[in-house]
Amino acid sequence: MRKFLIILMWLVTSISVLLLVTLPVNLQTQLIAGASVLFLMMVLKTLNAGGIWRLIALAFGTAIVMRYVYWRTTSTLPPVNQLENFVPGFLLYLAEIYSVMMLALSLFVVSMPLPHRTTRPATKGELPSVDVFIPTYNEDIELLANTMAAAKAMDYPADKLTVWILDDGGTLQKRNADKIVESHIAEKRFKDLSELCEALGVHYLTREKNVHAKAGNLNNGLEHSTGELIAVFDADHAPTRDFLLETVGYFDEDEKLFLVQTPHFFLNPDPLERNLRTFEEMPSENEMFYGIIQRGLDKWNAAFFCGSAAVLRREALNVTGGFSGISITEDCETAIALHSKGWNSVYLDKPLIAGLQPATFASFIGQRSRWAQGMMQILRFRFPLFNGGLTIPQRLCYLSSTLFWLFPFPRAIFLVAPLFYLFFGLEIFTASGGEFLAYTLIYMVVNLMMQNYLYGAFRWPWISELYEYVQTVHLLPAVVSVALNPRKPTFKVTAKDERIDRSRLSELSTPFFVIFLVLLVGVGVTIYRIYTEPYKADVTLVVGAWNLLNLVFAGCALGVVSERGDKRPSRRVKVSRRCEFRVGERWLQGTIDDVSVNGLRVQVLGDVAEAVSVGMLTDVRFKTFATGDLGDLPLQVRNVRKQAGETSVGCMFMPDQPSDHSLIADLIFANSAQWTKFQLDRRGNPGLFKGTIWFFGVAIFQTYRGFSYLFRHLTGRGKREWEGTL
Amino acid sequence: MKRLLGACLFLGLSTLSSYAQVAPFDMSPERPAEPAPAEKPAAPFSPLPGQQAPAAPAPAPKLAPAPIRADGQWRRYIVPQDSLSFSGENGDKTWAVFITADQAAAPATLTLAYQSSLVVAPEWSTMTVSINNARIISEPVQSPEGRKTLTAKIPAGVLKEGLNTFRINTSLRHRTDCTVQSTYELWTEVDPSKTYLSFTGDNPRRLKKLDDIRAIGVDGTGRTAFNIVVPAIDRTQATAPMLHTAQGLAILANMPNQTVTVSSTLPAEQSPGSLTVLLGTDEELQSLAPWAGDSRTAPGVAFVDDPATGSSILRFRGADWQSVTNAVAGFVDPLKRDLSVPRTFISTQTWRSPDVPLFISSSRVKLSELGVDTKNFTGRRLRTEFAIGVPSDFYANEYGKATILLDAAYSEDVLPGSQINIYVNDNIAATLPITTSGGEILRHFPISFTMRHFRPGVNLITIEAALTTKTDSICAPGSNASSTTRFALFDSSEFVIPSFARIGTLPNLAGLSGTSFPYNRSGKPLPVVMNNAGEKSLSAAATLLARMAVAAGRPMEVDPRATANSAMNSNALFIGAIPQIESSVLTQTGISENTRTIWSAVKGNVEPAPEENTQSDFNEWRERLSGRGWRGQISSFDDWLNRTFNISLASLMTSDESDAPYTPEPAATLLVAQRPNPNGDGVWTVATSATDDNLIEGVRALTRQDHWPELQGHISIYKAGTDEMQMVPVGNYTFVQSQPLSFSNMRLVIANWLSGNILWFSLILVVLASLLGIATSRMLANLGRRI
């Protein structure tokens, strides 16, 4: 009853707001109202008001957005009888309506995300049995070794923990491939991996045929195992020691729980972060998703499975016959299937795995194409809105998650729309300069402020737009192709461990330069038009400014596709662990300062610079968290630096036996607290104003960098100096 | 300037000569105190006698030359206004003239006198006059020696009994210049006092049927006069029938500038454009003239001939006042329209043809139905007008937008930068720049324009195309002769008015001038309060009521009263010189008691006290200091806001200034004010002047077609000195429900109110949005998962 009254009250107030904003008041009134609301939002923003004020500010924004939509719908569409204007005009309108609809859905999802869940450590007494699945296809064995070692090292009773390598790279089908080279590689992989598994105490499992890709592989694992719970890790996602203890407890509380999902935390930057050098200072792209969207989804019991770093209940999976494989995003699809059968999910907002993400722009695009295509398939085959098993909020949540991937369409339209006017004189948006100011500009600022309100600490201004733009160029064809041919896309494994040892232009960079140049011509046309056609300078200025904004994104994107050479592909994690460092026969006291997946840096007490030479093979000895035993890890010295009273030695791991990987995993993955700390360090909301200035600065520099890369690429000059610079 | 002076001079002279001619015969009783005609132009406010004349309210109707000429010709003036000028490259005027059967049958000649500007090139300029689409005159425009008179025989059969459409078309081109600017120098003026139909014989001047009242026509200044002669003018019983008669006549004749004179004696003669009406019992009429009291016909209303002058006179007679009243009712009642029957047209034919459609909800009309022809235009500035009507409860001024779906084409000659402008009642409402070169066909191209300048009643909408071309910038000799079409406007274009908010507001004099709102909607007789009414105030009341009846489209039952007390809880119309108006009425309608003093001082020619107005002083200072330093930048931002959005700081302030009692300036001749009555259940309207003479002069000027629509706001004044109207905008107002309650109408009403009260919209938006935020927060806290 109370609930009903509360909903009724909400309905009454929203209908009142709706009625008010759809009044056809005049331009003056709109301008004053828009400006007042904007001002109030700014005040609330400046005061950093949270709680109920946050929702009030969002309601302000919603009112302005609705007014914009009302005006846009009723007064700005070109007349239907001018098809040359109407068709592009209507497309632009659809693109805007899409954006508004996505804003509405995200408001629903993240207006009041669940707060951080308090930890719920499992009681050690009656723990369920867990199968850990590590599906792999073609990942390096080295990489797998770390993951396996970390999985084995998880703090959990050994009799209840079984780790499985599900190898799709060594299937019978692969080993008997017609191409001799392929079959040879598969055979070797099968052999090496089996041996490694045996050494680490991990079960190796492969199958006859590579059917149904990852979902098929996981289902094969289900068939061969019996644990109550299934933990899934990607080949490069190494869990911390406390992963299981943090997660399995939730299954006790709720019998209908099928999933506990944890965030993906990446040790290396994605291409944008790497090339723009923002990895250390700005929150990562996926933090918006894992930091707030999943929490929002969790409020509506709609947190979904992200393919890795999650624990699932076998009983639930059996209901749907294992992992679903119609789409190439089996994870989300499985979650929909189980949610619609009344099972629940939980999202735990604490990074408990660390992994790698695609390093090059090309593989980044490959990964995103798979997500986009998979989500399109879900939209096509399991349209969430009409899925009767889901609750209404769940439907909206899934709609939000899947429709998001249509963004290439509006992005592309926003990109070309101003050019229609600048190049062809088409008027696809009928509004005067004044109306543009009173409606569109205020709407745009309000929209940005709402985004900042919603995601401020997780996503800086304009970064979403940049990410969308850089993906659009290549995702648009991918999404179109899946729309035309929904069953065609096949699962492609994303390569994540590539190294970019020298600076170069990405192989996908050409369209970005072309687009940039076209937009630049657009700027030229703008200036020309302002001077030659002064009678419509106001419209030209507005459209020109829009085009200029596109140019800024396009320029910034040039930096994204100009891949920096990076000597250290993965991030060094700060640790501080006592160790002993071997110099010749002596063991010297030292501290391990930082580690990465490839090596570590040790501070050795005393001046040993003479005794240590680059290329020297040595060992480091430390006590593991897992067992408390001492272990020796073989290293090769890469550099030596003298410091006051100490010597800093940089080394590369030289693992030669399986147990060495356990030591590496123990160093890197033992402690989840360090990742949380790293993430929190990057979080911070620069605010709309500062963020915008910062972004424009970055964009200008990146445009310059993009062109200097292009110049060198074309002339081939100064290659040596270039590498490793800029 | 030269043109203006010339025109004034010539009009002035003609007026003077008319005076000279008519004055000796002028014995009409309503103008006993009229100063000698020669003194008239030297009124205190007129520096130049020559300029005064055309601007002065037309003097009494009998200034026109004698109707029957020596050659046996009888003239009917045809131009329904005191001046008729065509400016710009194309001009067009269409109206209808009612012709009696006798007139239609008689041989007729059309005479037209005009003068045009010197820069008009006769080779390329023409004037066409047509009657019922038959071309009567088509001449090059050329008037080198001042006025030029054209005469043409009207072929038999062209004139028909009933309404005949007259149309004058001009197409003028400049001798030397090709700029858009130069088109403003082009003009042609038709002289109404020299433009007439001449009929041979005596029959054409006879009026026989009641319907022939419509053929009363105009005098040489476009005025129509009804002289109601009531021998028993002082009888109370006579007042109501008199006022009803005036309304009935006005509605039937439906001319644009009608005056009613009430007197107790017969006028000496009946000039063109005037009609003498006798009203009384046989006995009373007998005292006027023997023929007037002739009681051989049945009681009622009929035309009788004045044996002395031979003119037709309308007579209402009966044995006693009861039967006279019945006679009047028999005449007026058929003109009544049921309150529930809405008008679809406002009848304007006699001054603007076709009739103006009255839109009471969303509508869509082809311009061809509004009297606009397809135009293929070779010049540089094309103007075309049409009129539409909106009801008096039109309440969409603040937010509303109407649309013209333009079917037009322009040739490749036309350069970008040309414009198509829309004007509403001569206020610019929208501009569509032409932005593409190479010519284009616009098919139903929408041009939205604000309805801010719409007012109840007839609204004039002008489409103007200002075209610049390359040929014009070169302007080779003779290029004005070019007959290549540059611009075409098609009559398939449409005017679209969306459904608009409808609610009456009070006070609202614009509603009164538009459709006599709110009196047109009342089923009860309208109390008309005249204290101590003399002939002049009666004439003024009759003239005003006649105008109101025309606006309302129906005669209104009136109930003459003597005091305000009797109208405390009803509608009322107060007419009289200020001494006759009770103080309670002045207070109630927002007129300052000081008015009495100020107006009495006028007679002593006291300098008016300078008005003090802090706000305007303040604005003046701001104006002076604008543009200086950074504060200047702010104020120039304000300017920009003002230009772009029509917002100024002033429009955000809610001021009650206008609700302070109003004191007119001494120069005000007539003051009209409106307010709800003390009980708040009716509306009081006051028309008052310093003296009876001012009252009749003011009312006659006010009811003229050119001034009547300017009756607006809470108070309007007319100043005879400058022949102009001024108004005091409405401050506080109340709504009067005029439509059944409906959601969509309420929504639009609210939209308009909020558009006028800008800050309220913001405030309500903020409050509602805050409530939404709170409600959402409550809801989200109760729905979904909680931890």
Query: Is A168 considered catalytic here?
Result: yes
Residue A27 has its nearest CB partner, among B645, B765, B781, at B645
Specify the pLDDT at position A554: 96
The values of phi and psi at residue A194, to 5°, are -60, -40
> Cβ contact (<8 Å) for A298 and B785?
yes
Measure in Å the smallest separation between the Cα of A455 and chain B Cα atoms. 18
- Cβ neighbours of B447 in A, within 8 Å: none
CA A25, chain centre distance (Å): 43
CA B665, chain centre distance (Å): 24
The contacts of residue A87 (CB under 8 Å, 6+ apart) are none
Token pair in block for residue B330: 């028999």
Strand partners, B356: B346
CATH 3.30.379 assigned to B213-335: yes
Closest CA to A535 of B585, B421, B505, B48: B421
Do residues A629 and A623 lie in contact, with contact meaning Cβ atoms separated by under 8 Å?
yes
A130-405 and A573-672 in the same fold: no
Do residues B12 and B53 lie in contact, with contact meaning Cβ atoms separated by under 8 Å?
yes
Q: Which residue has the tokens 């009788």?
A: B304
Please provide the DSSP assignment of B110-152 as one string: EEEEEEE-TTB-GGG-EEEEEETTEEEEEEE---TTS-EEEEE
Q: Give helix A687-715 / helix A537-560 axis angle, nearest 10°.
A: 60
- Which helix (DSSP H) or strand (DSSP E) does residue A688 occupy? helix A687-715
Neighbours of A127 (CB within 10 A): 20
**Distance separating alpha carbons of residues A115 and B165, to the nearest angstrom:** 81
Q: Does A4 touch chain B (CB under 8 A)?
A: no
Question: What are the residue boundaries of the structural domains of chain B, listed by start?
Answer: 1-56, 213-335, 345-504, 520-604+657-736, 743-782
CATH 3.30.930.10 assigned to A130-405: no
% helix, strand, coil for chain A, step of 5: 55, 15, 30
Specify the pLDDT at position B684: 92
> CA distances (Å), A611 to each of A583, A588, A650, B10, B190, in order?
7, 12, 14, 121, 117
**Distance separating alpha carbons of residues A274 and A359, to the nearest angstrom:** 8
> Cβ contact (<8 Å) for B776 and A29?
no
Neighbours of B132 (CB within 10 A): 17
Do residues B30 and B535 lie in contact, with contact meaning Cβ atoms separated by under 8 Å?
yes
Q: Does A127 touch chain B (CB under 8 A)?
A: no
3-state SS, residue A26? coil
Strand partners, A525: none
Distance, first Cα to last Cα, chain A = 64
- Pairing relationship of beta strands B375-377 and B440-450 according to DSSP bridges: unpaired
Please provide the DSSP assignment of A303-343 as one string: ----SSSEEEEHHHHHHTTSS--SSS-HHHHHHHHHHTTT-
Measure in Å the smallest separation between the Cα of B76 and chain A Cα atoms. 50
Would the pLDDT of B621 be above 90?
A: no
For residues A496, A499, A504 and A509, what is the CA-based torsion angle, rounded to 10 degrees? -10
Q: Which residue has the tokens 């603007």?
A: B352
B-facing residues of A in 101-120 (CB < 8 A) are 111-112, 114-115, 117-118
- Which helix (DSSP H) or strand (DSSP E) does residue B729 occupy? none
Lowest mean pLDDT across A504-508, B175-179, B616-620: B616-620
Do residues A95 and A407 lie in contact, with contact meaning Cβ atoms separated by under 8 Å?
no
Give the model confidence (pLDDT) of B701-751 as tens digits. 999 999 999 999 899 999 998 899 999 888 888 888 888 889 999 999 999
> CA distances (Å), A92 to each of A405, A413, A674, in order?
18, 6, 46
Give the model confidence (pLDDT) of B283-306 as tens digits. 888 888 888 877 777 788 989 888
Q: Does A57 touch chain B (CB under 8 A)?
A: yes
Q: How confident is the model at residue B661 (pLDDT cuts 50, 70, 90)?
A: confident
Do residues A325 and A249 lie in contact, with contact meaning Cβ atoms separated by under 8 Å?
no
Do residues A358 and A495 lie in contact, with contact meaning Cβ atoms separated by under 8 Å?
yes
Q: How confident is the model at residue B14 (pLDDT cuts 50, 70, 90)?
A: very low
Closest CA to A591 of A624, A634, A620, A626: A620
Would the pLDDT of B507 be above 50?
A: yes
Do residues A114 and B785 lie in contact, with contact meaning Cβ atoms separated by under 8 Å?
yes
Specify the pLDDT at position B66: 44
Tell me, which fold does domain B345-504 have in CATH?
Jelly Rolls (2.60.120)
- Nearest chain A residue to B744, by CA: A23
Token pair in block for residue B226: 């009804």
Q: How confident is the model at residue B608 (pLDDT cuts 50, 70, 90)?
A: very low
More confident of the two residues B205 and A335:
A335
The values of phi and psi at residue B101, to 5°, are -60, -40
- Nearest chain A residue to B452, by CA: A26
Token pair in block for residue A356: 């790698």
**Distance separating alpha carbons of residues A514 and A558, to the nearest angstrom:** 10
**Distance separating alpha carbons of residues B549 and B573, to the nearest angstrom:** 13
> Cβ contact (<8 Å) for A14 and B416?
no
- Which helix (DSSP H) or strand (DSSP E) does residue B27 occupy? none
B213-335 and B520-604+657-736 in the same fold: yes
Give the model confidence (pLDDT) of B691-704 as tens digits. 999 999 999 999 99
> What is this model's ipTM?
0.89
pLDDT < 50 positions in chain A: 721-726
Do residues B195 and B112 lie in contact, with contact meaning Cβ atoms separated by under 8 Å?
yes
B-facing residues of A in 389-418 (CB < 8 A) are 393
Do residues B595 and B562 lie in contact, with contact meaning Cβ atoms separated by under 8 Å?
no
Specify the pLDDT at position B21: 37
**Distance separating alpha carbons of residues B573 and B526, to the nearest angstrom:** 7
Q: Which residue has the tokens 């007439």?
A: B196
Q: How confident is the model at residue B20 (pLDDT cuts 50, 70, 90)?
A: very low
3-state SS, residue B655? coil
> Cβ contact (<8 Å) for A28 and B781?
no
Specify the pLDDT at position A269: 85
Measure in Å the smallest separation between the Cα of B493 and chain A Cα atoms. 14
The contacts of residue B64 (CB under 8 Å, 6+ apart) are B18, B22, B77, B193, B219, B220, B221, B271, B272, B273
Length of chain A: 726
**Distance separating alpha carbons of residues A103 and A110, to the nearest angstrom:** 10
- Pairing relationship of beta strands B187-190 and B84-87 according to DSSP bridges: antiparallel
**Distance separating alpha carbons of residues A75 and B478, to the nearest angstrom:** 45
Closest CA to B333 of B241, B262, B226, B256: B241
For residues B534, B537, B539 and B542, what is the CA-based torsion angle, rounded to 10 degrees? -120
**Distance separating alpha carbons of residues B179 and B88, to the nearest angstrom:** 12
**Distance separating alpha carbons of residues A232 and A236, to the nearest angstrom:** 11
CATH 3.20.20.105 assigned to B520-604+657-736: no
Give the model confidence (pLDDT) of B30-77 as tens digits. 333 333 333 333 333 333 333 333 333 433 333 334 455 556 678 899
The contacts of residue B565 (CB under 8 Å, 6+ apart) are none
- Nearest chain A residue to B643, by CA: A434
Q: Count CA atoms within 13 Å of residue B631 on its CB side.
A: 6
Would the pLDDT of B464 be above 50?
A: yes
Catalytic member of A131, A168, A236, A566: A168
**Distance separating alpha carbons of residues B246 and B528, to the nearest angstrom:** 14
- State pTM to two decimals: 0.85
- Which helix (DSSP H) or strand (DSSP E) does residue B676 occupy? strand B670-676
Specify the pLDDT at position A242: 87
Across chain B, mean pLDDT equals 83
**Distance separating alpha carbons of residues B239 and B279, to the nearest angstrom:** 11
> Cβ contact (<8 Å) for A28 and B780?
no
**Distance separating alpha carbons of residues B17 and B690, to the nearest angstrom:** 30
Do residues B132 and B147 lie in contact, with contact meaning Cβ atoms separated by under 8 Å?
no
Average pLDDT over residues B342-362: 90
More confident of the two residues A569 and B425:
B425
Catalytic member of A167, A234, A242, A331: A331
Spell out a b/e string for A8-39, using b for 16 or more CB atoms within 10 Å of the CB, else e.
eebeebbebbeebbbbbbbbbbbbbbbebbbe
**Distance separating alpha carbons of residues A528 and A532, to the nearest angstrom:** 6
Closest CA to B239 of B630, B569, B525: B525
Lowest mean pLDDT across A78-82, B9-13, B456-460, B480-484: B9-13
Q: What CATH superfamily is the domain A573-672?
A: predicted glycosyltransferase like domains (2.40.10.220)
> Cβ contact (<8 Å) for A25 and B751?
yes
Q: How confident is the model at residue B25 (pLDDT cuts 50, 70, 90)?
A: very low
- Nearest chain A residue to B755, by CA: A25
Give the burial class of B721: count Cβ atoms within 10 A of its Cβ; 0-12 exposed, 13-18 middle, 19 or more buried.
Answer: middle
Query: Is A607 considered catalytic here?
Result: no
> CA distances (Å), A336 to each of A105, A258, A405, in order?
18, 11, 17
- Which helix (DSSP H) or strand (DSSP E) does residue A126 occupy? none
